[in-house]
Structure 1
């Protein structure tokens, strides 16, 4: 981080040069499932991993950003078991070799980290790689993969407009850049017709075998079960362990992607994957940890790193569903970075949240000032005030708790970076 620029410089020239010096490790990988999208790509990655591991496949997984530790970006596959995060010695050795190969040339942090992905995954045996895109698609550093087993495009909405454009069709065109001629494509649920059309048109132009959510495969809840259906038939599964109705479509896209990548998928594998899938800071309920001591007794605490208007809508929908089942006052503790649309995010909660506390983000030059963020929440129709930390906000909520009132529901979110701060404070980093 001290040596290289932290921002994005969307080009493939630098990473291609460095990979060539290292012997092109990206060309020596097992089959790659390449996943892009504005929202849901992390969840789809988690579902793919759970499904493949349920089938006994050694599965390398790349995700970004990390929440607490850099190692979270690299999960090394284990045959017949749960993948493990890369250890210190292996990661340090990999980064030293990359630095030597780069020889002082200009390159960004994310490009270095992506080269580490390819070097690590090419040198450790596995059956498959699940590769999450960092930003966009067309010029993302991961897009040096020329022959993916399948390209997956998850829901597209407005985010990173400075880099990707200010209309969903422009963003869709960037995400569609991971599609490769003649290679299978799976298109997840798309709220915006304009985005859907761009994705389908691109896939057709590249003559990619394409399956589309809602047309070729789907999932819905029925009698407390998840019903998945595609051209191969119907499966009756446990509901996903990840809360929220939006996860049904994410799970469906992952199932269809693993099939499109050429893996046999049984109903038993799917059922086990729904029960074992894990994805920290995506509607994660904090059941233990240090922070619970600061909250009112009996409070529900949910953590979600969603940070754009599209994410706000699905999180708010989940909170409303929780409210239907068990009414509680909803408080929000939020931290966000300055490249996002805070008013658009908060607007989704205008009718359901009691109060918002805004907090700064540690170790981020891009964190929004809590006062500015509180004004954004106010502009979205919410009652809001700045707070010194998540702990101080929890203490303030506890001080307002009346003896005969139901314990509150507390949503902590607005940024994956903020979610990382919270997991670190709670003593529960991802493993």
Structure 2
């Protein structure tokens, strides 16, 4: 599946069209192509400021958002690369705190695509090469890098000595890639997922994680030992709990009482604590308690349990947006909306399991309206049950809902979420 991108800037679109024509031979694994491309660009990944590298099935983007907010609250200039983008490709490359400009993006993509024309790189490999090239050119104090898919063979895994590596929540997703049969890898699915994510472990760099099942923990411990990475796991080297007064964090450096995140969702305190633990288990930069607290309060991360603002699409109705599409994300939605009733507007790629969202929501669902995922193959209404109906797009789906005061949840795909943000004039910045 290609990761489509569009821009209103003609120069950027010309390069995005080139990106869209890239194809990857099915089954190609490894870091050889990205390393060859970076070599031609002067190995910019060797010239980055201290870098925080974050993997995980769910929560890695939110953890990156907390890291960025905490570091900026301390006064640091922060480069960040995350994926996917929601509305504009520029969202993938944040340079010293600002989204990369269209003019610079067009020049940068042209440079990288020209350099790797004969290497047949992937969309994501070009993106990471472009991000690292710009990050090496523009002065900043720190980098935050989100893994795209997996970890072991992800293009970001060319990083050789991050300040710290982190692993957020684990779950089953991207089975075609992460559970593909391979000799010498674990047979138990969650253990294999942990094995792939822990592939980002590096000698001398702390590997900071949450707590997991025994099978997953075993693989993470083995990866840390194999790579000489000091392991800092929740429940061992650090701990976190919640109360009405805030987030209670402790590690070998002492105890902190921090505010609860402003980001909604029962999982966000854990993501915030993971970011705190990553910053406190490294020796490259200093961070104060006040900056940690301010970052927890101010971090934003669109399309993850986001309450949409009144706008052209929403009017004054209470509408929530979430790009989650796997069972772990569905469980978070089920917990957040427990005890409520809502209308579900859902669009899911046909490779995903429709029950991942509808199952955890269960009796909370008053109605289900299925919409297309723009530019992708998607599940029709019949896969969501006999009572699910179909609409040609999100505006049509919302217009057909009864005016009964119930909130609406739009969910199932980050691609759909990006379209919703565009329609409501809420562009991520």
| Same fold flag (TM > 0.5) | yes
Q: 1:301 aligns with which of 292, 311, 319?
A: 319
Deviations 1:323-380 (A, max 9, x none): 4xxx5x211111111232222332111132112111101133xx314x2xx33332xx
Paired with 2:336 and 2:37, the residues of 1 have a C-alpha distance of: 44
Q: Which residue is 2:239 aligned to?
A: 218
- Larger displacement relative to structure 2 (43-52 or 181-190): 181-190
How many angstroms does 1:267 deviate by? 1.8
How many angstroms does 1:301 deviate by? 0.9
Paired with 2:119 and 2:230, the residues of 1 have a C-alpha distance of: 39
Give me the TM-score of the superposition, normalised by structure 2.
Answer: 0.89
Contact kept, 8 Å, 2:124 with 2:155, in 1: the verdict is yes
Unaligned runs of 5+ in 2: 1-18, 181-188
Deviations 1:376-421 (A, max 9, x none): 332xxx9422221111111111xx234xxxx111111111111001
> SS at 1:411's partner residue?
strand
> SS at 2:337's partner residue?
helix
Distance 1:410 1:193, change over 3 A: farther
Q: Which residue is 2:396 aligned to?
A: 392
Q: 2:304 aligns with which of 271, 282, 297?
A: 282
Contact kept, 8 Å, 2:24 with 2:120, in 1: the verdict is no
Q: Which residue is 1:377 aligned to?
A: 384
Q: Which residue is 2:403 aligned to?
A: 401
Q: Which residue is 1:104 aligned to?
A: 118
Paired with 1:310 and 1:7, the residues of 2 have a C-alpha distance of: 30
Residues 1:124 and 2:138 are matched in the alignment: yes
Q: 1:241 aligns with which of 241, 262, 285?
A: 262
> SS at 1:208's partner residue?
coil
Contact kept, 8 Å, 1:33 with 1:261, in 2: the verdict is no
Paired with 2:243 and 2:36, the residues of 1 have a C-alpha distance of: 51
Q: Which residue is 2:184 aligned to?
A: none
Contact kept, 8 Å, 1:160 with 1:339, in 2: the verdict is no
Contact kept, 8 Å, 2:48 with 2:143, in 1: the verdict is yes
- Larger displacement relative to structure 2 (47-56 or 214-223): 214-223
- Larger displacement relative to structure 2 (168-177 or 259-268): 259-268
How many angstroms does 1:6 deviate by? 7.0
Paired with 2:25 and 2:358, the residues of 1 have a C-alpha distance of: 26
> SS at 1:348's partner residue?
helix
Contact kept, 8 Å, 1:137 with 1:174, in 2: the verdict is yes
> SS at 2:152's partner residue?
coil
- Larger displacement relative to structure 2 (232-241 or 120-129): 232-241
Q: Which residue is 1:60 aligned to?
A: 79
Q: 2:422 aligns with which of 421, 424, 430?
A: 424
How many angstroms does 1:292 deviate by? 1.5
Q: Which residue is 1:205 aligned to?
A: 226
- Larger displacement relative to structure 2 (252-261 or 97-106): 97-106
Residues 1:147 and 2:153 are matched in the alignment: no
Residues 1:358 and 2:360 are matched in the alignment: no
How many angstroms does 1:248 deviate by? 0.8
Contact kept, 8 Å, 2:37 with 2:119, in 1: the verdict is no
Q: Which residue is 1:71 aligned to?
A: 90
> SS at 1:60's partner residue?
strand
Paired with 1:424 and 1:284, the residues of 2 have a C-alpha distance of: 14
Q: Which residue is 1:312 aligned to?
A: 330
Give me the TM-score of the superposition, normalised by structure 1.
Answer: 0.89
Deviations 1:62-108 (A, max 9, x none): 0000000000001111xxxxx11000111111111112212333121
- Larger displacement relative to structure 2 (181-190 or 32-41): 181-190
- What RMSD, in angstroms, separates the aligned Cα atoms of the two structures? 1.8
Deviations 1:238-270 (A, max 9, x none): 210111121111100001112223232322112
Q: Which residue is 1:175 aligned to?
A: 197
> SS at 1:226's partner residue?
strand
Distance 1:207 1:11, change over 3 A: closer
Paired with 1:7 and 1:186, the residues of 2 have a C-alpha distance of: 34
How many angstroms does 1:57 deviate by? 0.8
Deviations 1:169-204 (A, max 9, x none): 1111111111112321101243x3321221122212
- Larger displacement relative to structure 2 (307-316 or 10-19): 10-19
How many angstroms does 1:7 deviate by? 8.6
How many angstroms does 1:52 deviate by? 0.5
Q: Which residue is 1:253 aligned to?
A: 274
Residues 1:38 and 2:57 are matched in the alignment: yes
